[in-house]
Structure 1
């Protein structure tokens, strides 16, 4: 869990993370399209894709700034580290189950395609719940997922809410092409929804950059009277 102490630090934190996410997500999308691996989305063979997302999100935290207010807080974090990891694991697993059930309720095959639906739910968890847990912890992630209309005003939580909403919107939007009678291989479940979720996640991070980066530069130029 990353602890940020000021609005300026929050903006820098969000900007750096959004830039990194936009870069590696764009590379993943290019590889999927160029190598035709997009047709493997929803199968166990796409686990390396999920691993890339997980590694990318973890690396952003590992090499990101950890700004705590005191040594006392740092010691407390170390003491509850195992408990936090356990909470994160529970939240991630619960999120996967919820996404699986929601996918079935929205029309995913119930008696067949269990593997595809599970991989889709796992992808949504990696794109929405995992980054939130790494940024703000399991407790706040649970609260955000339960009520996306709360926590207004905080830059990081607002960013998390936007990422979740746009990722889910992209996944929902991708479902539009599934029932069309074009008979294309990329229309099969859950390729359009998974790819739509990835696109939505990337677009959310691009919007973060566009919305926050000018403010960061504006404050820097004002500091030096430019």
Structure 2
């Protein structure tokens, strides 16, 4: 899969916002996953998977809306977001459709069909939160933009490239997270969907890091060329 990046760089304020906000995001999620797993604090992904997933869904939803839907357009001097009833209904419809699709795909890939329905749907909601929701916040409901970013692999450097890599990382991480489940190790973390949740979050964070590293390199390289 080759990626053709559009070198339309964000301005300095948008660049600083993206780098700092996503750095904080990576640190916070890493600490929230790691610390409860090694202490008796709540939100332990292994012992309280559904509670932890609910927390991550709320946290990531707030982050995506505040940073990508409100702050980035403001700093990038784009048109402000207009909250029309029709647009809100479309967004809700896309989110519901994404969650149902991910739930069905998880079942087709081997997730329990009759049992663990709540666990599967929580996993589908988390996957929607790390892929569909940020896509709506960054790209809006103009699906020609979705085609350019995902089908044509041609995101702009900045919020779109971070979205592109984090979405791919989320899906690949969730898929790779399923590999240890059938192994006969009898570990508590092999229960569905713990490894897929951790794989989803891990892939998402790696994608965020990859997108930010690319943004940082392109931005400072362009500034160097301007100076010379």
Normalising by the smaller structure, the TM-score range is: 0.7 to 0.9
User: Do the aligned partners of residues 87 and 141 (structure 1) sit closer, same or farther apart at CA in structure 2, a change above 3 Å counting?
Assistant: farther
2: CA distance, partners of 1:166 / 1:98: 18
The match for 1:152 is 154
Partner secondary structure for residue 72 of structure 2:
coil
The match for 2:30 is 26
Give 1:42 deviation, angstroms.
4.3
Give 1:176 deviation, angstroms.
0.7
1: CA distance, partners of 2:21 / 2:52: 28
Question: For 2:66, which of 59, 64, 74 is the aligned residue?
Answer: 59
Q: CA RMSD in A?
A: 2.9
The match for 1:50 is 57
Asked if the contact 2:50–2:122 (Cα under 8 Å) also holds between the matched residues in 1, the reply is yes
Where in structure 1 are there 5+ consecutive unaligned residues?
1-5
The match for 1:180 is 183
Asked if the contact 1:24–1:56 (Cα under 8 Å) also holds between the matched residues in 2, the reply is no
- Is 1:82 matched up with 2:85? yes
Partner secondary structure for residue 171 of structure 2:
helix
The match for 2:4 is none
Partner secondary structure for residue 189 of structure 1:
coil
Asked if the contact 1:14–1:208 (Cα under 8 Å) also holds between the matched residues in 2, the reply is no
User: Do the aligned partners of residues 9 and 219 (structure 1) sit closer, same or farther apart at CA in structure 2, a change above 3 Å counting?
Assistant: same
Q: Which has the higher contact order (CA 8 A, sep 6+)?
A: 1
Give 1:216 deviation, angstroms.
1.4
Asked if the contact 2:161–2:211 (Cα under 8 Å) also holds between the matched residues in 1, the reply is no
- Is 1:112 matched up with 2:115? yes
Name which of structure 1's ranges 159-168 and 186-195 shifts more when overlaid on structure 2.
159-168
Asked if the contact 1:41–1:194 (Cα under 8 Å) also holds between the matched residues in 2, the reply is no
Asked if the contact 1:169–1:197 (Cα under 8 Å) also holds between the matched residues in 2, the reply is yes
Aligned length: 213
2: CA distance, partners of 1:60 / 1:184: 38
Asked if the contact 1:171–1:196 (Cα under 8 Å) also holds between the matched residues in 2, the reply is yes
> What is the TM-score with the length of structure 2 in the denominator?
0.80
Q: Residue deviations 1:107-163, cap 9 Å, x none?
A: 000110000000000000011111111111133389449x93225253354443322
